[in-house]
Amino acid sequence: MLSTTSDGNHYLAPTVVESVKILVVGSFGVGKTTLIGSVSEIEPLRTEETITQASEGIDELEATPKKTTTTVAMDFGRITLTDEIALYLFGTPGQRRFWDLWSGLAEGAAGALVLVDTRRLADSFEVLDQLETRTSLPFVVAINQFPDAPSYEPDQIRTALDLDDETPIVVCNAKNRNACVRALATLVRHALKTR
């Protein structure tokens, strides 16, 4: 591990000049923060953004459209990889209604790790749809294998999620640091192939 400043982990080493980010996306409760906590050198931190959305499903009879302001939390962590490079992992809800929040994050990202729970495969459809239609980010599907979840062959997952043959699928226990690091390495290898 590289040393940081005397403030412990508060600051990065002064030699760090470059940051790379990877998005960890997936539906609620799929284990994004768990994965980030498994690999981060700092306790996962949280920032909150307010987003303003037009209310859905309400007849607009008044002159001013109804809007709601909501707060969305984003958890993140970091790994200092070399003297000069820090990797940031941002856990973001990937659903359509949060697009404004994570569109800025997607710009310049190395790629996205899509966490999937096999008990709730359908919850991943919208996230994958957003990634495919609204970004050109390389992504890897990581199955967060819960103990009581049914186990599928990667080909079954590929068919169920309608993934391209090129999209890597890895099995990854979000609590296991080594498994998470391997999943991230798979994503970066895939990103290198696609450019």
Partner 1 sequence: MPDAPEDDYVDHPIRSYVRTGGRARPTHRLTPATLLIGHTSPRATSVGRQEREVLSQCRGVISMAEMAAHLGQPVSVLAVIASDMIDAGLIGVRPDSDTAAGPSRETLQKVLHALNHL
CB of 128 to partner 1, least distance (A): 18
Which of 90, 124, 170, 172 touches partner 1 (CB under 8 A)? 90
Which of 44, 131, 140, 169 touches partner 1 (CB under 8 A)? 44
Which of 20, 121, 160, 161 touches partner 1 (CB under 8 A)? 20
- Calculate the CA dihedral of residues 35, 41, 42, 47 and round it to 10 degrees: -50
48 forms part of the interface with partner 1 (CB under 8 A): yes
Q: Binding segment for partner 1 among 71-79, 124-132, 145-153, 156-164 (CB under 8 A)?
A: 71-79
141 forms part of the interface with partner 1 (CB under 8 A): no
The answer to whether the CB of 130 falls within 8 A of the CB of 39 is no
For 104-127, give the DSSP string: HHHTT-SEEEEEE-GGGTTHHHHH
Strands 85-93, 67-80: pairing is antiparallel
Which of 54, 58, 73, 149 touches partner 1 (CB under 8 A)? 73
78 forms part of the interface with partner 1 (CB under 8 A): yes
Q: Binding segment for partner 1 among 57-65, 148-156, 165-173, 182-190 (CB under 8 A)?
A: 182-190
Residues 149-168 that bind partner 1 (CB under 8 A): none
Q: Which amino acid is at 152?
A: Y
Q: Binding segment for partner 1 among 54-62, 70-78, 127-135, 153-161 (CB under 8 A)?
A: 70-78
Contacts of 116 (CB under 8 A, 6+ apart): 26, 30, 124, 141, 142, 143, 144, 157, 161
The answer to whether the CB of 44 falls within 8 A of the CB of 36 is yes
What is the distance of C-alpha 1 from the center of its chain? 24
The answer to whether the CB of 124 falls within 8 A of the CB of 26 is yes
Q: Which residue ranges make up the site for partner 1 (CB under 8 A)?
A: 5, 7, 10-14, 16-21, 28-34, 37, 42-50, 69-76, 78-79, 81-82, 85-88, 90, 93, 104-105, 107-110, 181, 184-185, 188-189, 191-192, 195
